[in-house]
């Protein structure tokens, strides 16, 4: 048996208005889905009988990590929501030289972004709950991003290599995408990223907003990786 409690019990009983005997699929947030039928519904606990389980089929073939420089205002909430819908496994917010938003304390913001990630994951039926990490310095973001098989540095001043060129040889099992803030990357940040092994790529000749760039790049990587 599996028991839904708290907000999940409320959602099942009051929002979805499930009834005993109804079929429902529960997800453990770690990649497994459970086919169940509803047994009992109480205010704070919904009990479900497990009939079978299988790997969730809503995860991309690749493990995608978005490294996002802190944008102004509440843009990060939009970016987190869209990145989760587009299948990221992890989001790493970081502080770069040109970040206008430089809050002293970010833990409340990170908590808010984590909540948005859970809501977005439920809405789009993710099999895995994406992780939203604490804010790190740009150098740490570069070090982590460089560990991916396909490590992409989305650089607004890149004139040679397009995203298509970078993905022509295929998409690695792990992919990192590094996106700058409204003010873009400082030249020394671009040099450090390239030195660390990230591939500097252009998303075309237009300058995209910092909240548009990750959406466009994630969609292109999903397409190239055979997920669409």
Binding site for ligand SAM (CB under 6 A): 154-156, 158, 179-180, 182-185, 202-204, 206-210, 213
User: What is the spatial distance between Cα 186 and Cα 227, in angstroms, rounded to a whole number?
Assistant: 33
User: Nearer Cβ to ligand SAM, position 56 or 163?
Assistant: 163
Q: How far is the CB of 163 from ligand SAM (least distance, A)?
A: 8
Q: How far is the CB of 66 from ligand SAM (least distance, A)?
A: 11
User: What is the spatial distance between Cα 47 and Cα 18, in angstroms, rounded to a whole number?
Assistant: 11
User: Nearer Cβ to ligand SAM, position 56 or 66?
Assistant: 66
Beta bridge partners of 132: 91
User: Nearer Cβ to ligand SAM, position 27 or 92?
Assistant: 92
Q: How far is the CB of 227 from ligand SAM (least distance, A)?
A: 21
User: Nearer Cβ to ligand SAM, position 3 or 208?
Assistant: 208
- DSSP notation for 164-201: HHHHTT---SEEEEEE--TT---HHHHHHHHHTTPEEE
Beta bridge partners of 11: none
Q: How far is the CB of 25 from ligand SAM (least distance, A)?
A: 37
Q: How far is it between the farthest Cα atoms of the chain?
A: 61
């Amino acid at each position: 048996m599996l028991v839904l409690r708290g907000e999940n019990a409320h959602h099942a009983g009051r929002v979805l208005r499930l009834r005993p005997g109804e079929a429902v699929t529960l997800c453990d947030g770690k990649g497994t889905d459970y086919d169940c039928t509803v047994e009992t519904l109480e205010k704070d606990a919904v009990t479900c009988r497990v009939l079978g389980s299988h790997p969730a089929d809503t995860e991309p073939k690749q493990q995608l990590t978005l490294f996002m420089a802190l944008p102004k205002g509440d843009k990060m909430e939009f970016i987190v929501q869209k990145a989760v819908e587009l299948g990221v496994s992890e989001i790493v917010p970081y502080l770069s030289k040109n970040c206008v938003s430089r809050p002293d304390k970010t833990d409340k913001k990170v908590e808010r972004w984590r909540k948005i990630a859970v809501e977005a994951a439920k809405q789009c039926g993710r099999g895995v709950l994406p992780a939203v990490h604490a804010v790190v310095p740009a150098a740490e973001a570069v070090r982590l991003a460089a560990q991916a098989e396909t490590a992409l540095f989305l650089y607004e001043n890149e004139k040679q290599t397009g995203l298509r060129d970078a993905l022509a040889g295929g998409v690695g099992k792990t992919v990192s995408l590094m996106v700058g803030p409204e003010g873009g990357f400082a030249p020394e940040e671009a040099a450090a990223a390239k030195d660390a092994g990230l591939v500097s790529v252009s998303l075309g000749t237009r300058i995209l907003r910092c909240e548009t760039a990750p959406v466009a790049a994630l969609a292109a990587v999903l397409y190239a990786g055979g997920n669409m």
